[in-house]
Each structure stands twice: as structure tokens, then as C-alpha cells.
A = this chain, B = another copy of it.
Amino acid sequence: MKWKELEEEPCSMARTIGVIGDRWTLLILRECFLRTRRFEGFQSALGITRHLLAERLKKLVRQGILRRIPYQESPKRHEYILTQKGLDLYPIMMAIVHWGDTHMVDERGRPLLHQHRKCGKDFDPVMVCSECGEPLSAKEVHTHPGPGARSTPADPAPATAKTKARSRAA
């Protein structure tokens, strides 16, 4: 499976992974949320090679996650800022950070704390049900096919060797 194919899978997770599912992209996005905006800023913060950084920024712009806007003429310079689509990645970032805070910290404790401006306190992110507001866990959730699901039990096109890997996806 190539990266391009991922984005065409009938699975929101596979499609999202096709866009942000590599380590440099995720780290670049971390920097974006920490207010880094410029090429040199990303490069020196991350130690990424300039080649890959340029490539990843282009991809994020193509995907509509970053917008490239000029901040000076002559020489032309641009900076990269998160679009709304990019800002919407925040829960993913926070979920990743929170898992790391829970399972990957050393004896020194958390590298970063997060303060909620509204209530003023340092917080953890909690994922809740949009309908009843209760916290979610894997075991309380039942997953079932939606309108965009690929195959049904009566799928007229039986899986071939080529498509077999996809029929399960969702």
C-alpha cells in the first residue's frame, strides 16, 4: 500500500493517517501549535533536514492544513499558519501528548503543562460522548457501518486478491 492509496480507503482513520501519519508531519504540527511559523524556525526547532521540511510543508499546504502567506516583499518571504482544518487537529495532538504524559514520562515528570484559560487550572484532556457527556472508553463503544461503508454482507463485488485488503477497512 502506497501513501496515496491510503487516502482513498473507506476509513476515516486511514485517510487521516495518509495526511498526518508520519513522524515529521506530526512534529511539524506540534511546532505550529507552539506558534512556530517560519521555515528556519521549524528547521532549528526540529533538526529535520531542509529537504524533508520543504517537502512536508508543501504537502500540508496542499492538504489545506497550513496556509502559506507572505510576510514581506523583497526578498519574498512566507510563513505557515494553521487553517481551521489544521486547528481542528488539536484534539489529536492533545490526545497524543496526554498518552505520553501518562505512559512515557520519566521520574522527572511532565515536560509541559497545559493551562485552560477559561478556568485557570492545569488540566488533562478528557474525551467524552457528544450526546451524554460521559467519558468514553473503547469497551463502551459499538462500531457499525455508516453510509460511506465499502462492503455489505451482500456486496455484489466479491473481494479479489487485489481488493481483499480493503474490504475489511472501515
Contact = CB atoms under 8 A, between A and B. Distances in A.
A21 B26 CA distance: 8
A165 B17 contact: no
**Centre residue among A108, A131, A134 by max chain B CB count within 10 A:** A131
| Contact count band on A | 35 or more
Contacts of A12: 96-101, 104-105, 110-112
Interface in A20-77: 21-23, 26-27, 30, 33-34, 44-48
Nearest to A103: B85
Interface string A1-26: 10100110011111111110111001
A30 B17 CA distance: 11
A134 B119 contact: yes
A124 B136 CA distance: 10
**Complex copy number for this chain:** 2
A104 B134 contact: no
A160 B61 CA distance: 32
Contacts of A132: 116, 118-119, 121, 123
Contacts of A140: 116-118
B130 A123 contact: yes
Q: In the complex, which of the residues A89, A111, A117 has the most CB atoms of chain B within 10 Å of its own CB atom? A: A111
Interface of A: 1, 3, 6-7, 10-19, 21-23, 26-27, 30, 33-34, 44-48, 82, 85, 87-106, 108-119, 121-134, 136-150, 164-166, 168-170
